Structure 1
């Protein structure tokens, strides 16, 4: 320790910079401590800093790192996927926790009687935030936590980045569990920092104070913290620091309080008492001396007194230095004794641990012997099981051969049964007997292409569709179409039971609920169709049309889709009739796709594109499908001008004014999506009409299952933003719709859809729990 002489105080120095401001620091620089979220580690850093620097000015430096995930009831989700309210709430809670933590550190510093500042910033990377604060506030002294491995190897950690990227003027001490690990020395000085020698002198001056004198000992040096208390006011949200002193600085150096004038006054008073005390006796003698001699004698006396004072002070300093060394020696002896006791205690503990380790080693050897014996026994059992497995495998092979024979027999029987039940060719007499010679009483309805009768064949009720003779191009073509239609099977297509080429008749299955036209517009029918059933019928029609357009090897175009050709079963599921028949008619009959002679000349229901090209295409079925959707929405029978009326209502935001009230209270979201699809499908130009795809069918299937409330966000596919039916977990941990993520992977995009990061592997895992939750949500009554 350097001992200072009672010389005059040093000349004023430049103001030190701390926290972005210039202040009078009285020669003592700020020590910045990087504090974290762990109170145990942070308080250890603060204790070490107080022991190491012994200063009364400590700045706490904290980097707030926002959490990248947000906790919810369904688990943690990325912040980008959470709602703004949820993110703000979580950020507020994070700030409250940070404030509580920082107030704990400030209270600790206040109890230690040190002046405290706080520098707070926010950054995703902690070391980048610390570097920005070091550069912004020109920090020259920084204490931060570390690990013991960093003393030997600094490659990947936060400490390595700080050591390599910190400015040259910053000196960094790395501490682990209250022990100094290593120091990154500063290689340059800042423009606003005080000279090193000046800082050391000031720190030494403020850390020395003298204790009072007593009868037995002289003045003794006492090291301790300054008697200075600072109250720090911190706004943690704004990162602004303001401070003020609760008491004025107290200079602990006893000799600084003594000035040269005091010594001169004492000396002059002594001289006066010596030379002038007896003026009445020696007045004559004193007159013999000149003023010059008296002045010279006085100066000599003053010099002698000054020299004596210096010698006394030097002797005092030597004595105090000796006492300090003696106290240090006693402290080292005490530390050595305590270290010896600690070593003996550690040795006893190590002996106990060694005994326990030996016992564990013996137990492990015994367990190993038991395990080896168990392994030998398991090997013997495994050999026996292998022999049994070989026998079982031989029996399985025998049973497999027998099973193949049985399956082939079953397949042959099934084929025979299908040939007997699925389709049959009838004679003219069968048709006449089934319909009482095509009696008018058995007729269901008439069309331009023929008539439909109800009949009984083979104890089964059927619908017999008899075509007009002049409308068929050839009987051979009729037989070819019958052969093709007999192979077509779909849940929403009327099943073809048989046909009679001689009478040009088709025999279909009979549906008791009649046609969709009768159910909507029949006056005697009091049972109205709810809007949910209508939405389901739309999805079933789209599924059947997509099946017809995808038939192999020949695509089937219905060409005459209307409400009269859509039949309902007992549960109001629809089945389309009269499909594939339009190819049989002559060109004259094709000009009337609506099938009614009463519409001849106006064609309000005919496809405008077909009127121009005379060619039936899948887009013709799309046009008729759009008209059917609009009729189901509005409940209006006449299709003429229906699309324009619905379009005007939607443009004015009054779609509910044209909806059929007999369907109940429509869901406006479902009605809006159906109306939009119906208008797109009923466009005059085929190029403006959409194609029927599997995605369109899936969307329509979801409409009648849609709730009034919106689905939870976790049920929606991040790619399609639709309810998932096959949730699959990708390598990035996010669940997607199965077909959507597979399609993305098949196109060669091996990156995550949300952040475009490279996926480690392309395997998908079914999310059964989420799929069951979605199904339960869809089945729940509204």
Structure 2
């Protein structure tokens, strides 16, 4: 069987001081390679797979260079089944370097201490992460870290062992510079503390400079310390042995069982090959590869873990006899160092079984080895003494440097304190100057306030005098106000009386006008055809403002007055009849809501009216030429004015005028959106005292079909109720803004379903639901099929006047055309 080291990460391999052998020395037979793999799977040099805990804790220093050798030892000697935990106890430095000198932390500013502590923390984390990265870079190795902060490293490790119940711990026995091959126990204070006070269940391996020093066993024998194997350099005089590939990897393995048993051999390997040579390894092989060892049929291997390979008892007894003889002579085994090797492997002349019987020759050889070992020990003692002297000299130099730095430190503190005092004095001077300025400003403000106080006192005296005079004036004002209230009440009463008298006078004037129109005609102007041509620029089409079956309407200027000239069709006798009928009606009647006839031209059958700039109601309901929609308040007022005009036409004492063609196109709007009813071409003048009875029978129905009375269409009887039906359709259009076709049925269904809001025209504004519903009910009553179910113009006007008064208070500004 062969002893094979575990693979180590590249960054650790580069820090090893020497490699074991050249690449040519690593070749071995196939059987040797298989033996290597078997040992790697079954044997771990230091930590076995039989440990109860599956974790190995490694205590490492903050400096990476200090702890990397010990970490290499752990990686080489830990089975891959165990998880490596990097332990580190962080101790904050009590002194901090500032400007080349060291100062206690309690004498510095908190921010300076905090900055240095953060720097320490970063440095520590960098080193621990470097350890962890090195572990994780090895294939199949599991690793983690555990860091705490304490005032003492030893106490911190004891706390960790107790808290986490650590059973496997690897830590340093001393600093690497104190390592010697004779070291067999811990030297550092913290290692000794853990050796004595750590929990007995924790097994501790003490390592120095990548070498196992000793082991503190766990369990009932926790205090027992086992010494690691010790090796000495080979004899330089022994030149006849040469290192060869066949020799490489043939080992004698030694391990100390107790501190008192010095160098008792517990691992021995005897092999034989063609060259009959053997090798003893002093340290673990550094090469990242492996070392193969040919297995001997008669050899014996007892490794560090008390494992016994297959061998013969006779070989074991022979080797022990050699060891006992070495001990009796009080000498240690001397091994030749191969000058051709650069690693740490050592070779020894092969001991054959036959030579074990030759005791005399062997004793002489061992004696020579012992002699050389003593000489070597003396040389090493001299070197140790020189190193001790150099260390004492370095300590003295350090003490002298600290003594010389003391005055500099005192001077630095004095300079620092002086600067701080100067800064405080400067700050106090600035504050004093600032207070002086504030005092001067306050004195000036006080002077100003005093002057203001004097001024206010004078003003107060004047105001008292003024207040007394004001009280007298206020008393007079109260008396005058009461007098004015009485006068206002008298004036209001006189105004009401004057309004009543004006209404009575207006009624009398209307009656007189109606009486006068019965007996004669109103005078109006007559114009010639040439005047009409001049007024309309020879009837320019650009001045045409309307056109229909009756003819065309032009805008013109007559006698410096803007007028609308209605040219009736000159072909046939129908145009002549409409001309004479409209002249006859308008010459006898005059009302604010009827169009005013300015004059006529009998030659061209032309009628001249006042020009109304806002066009017809039909144009405004359809928003012709992108004109804004009419507000709902204006629509209610227009309905009221049309109904007033109908009441006037229907209630004449001497004759009744039935318009017969009432529709929005025949309702014109002036500049203030006041409505004027026109187009009396097909109206009828009927002599009767009862307005509700049939007054005129027409054999040919004329007018717009959708606005015509259904009974008039059936019987041909034209009555004032026919105009009321047309008024109802107009009211529903003003309410909804929709087409007149079927509008009465649509509104009736909406009222029945209680969803009238869906029918009202939203572009007219926010209709009050009560007024909208009342207007809809009036429109539906006017549109009843039978005349008897319809109200007359007077009854409808009463309802509309009530609505107009309700909305007149909040009437919005009229829209511009």
TM-score range, shorter chain: 0.3 to 0.5
Superposition TM-score, scaled by structure 2 size: 0.32
Point out which structure has higher relative CO (alpha carbons under 8 A, 6+ apart).
2
Superposition TM-score, scaled by structure 1 size: 0.34
Larger Rg: 2
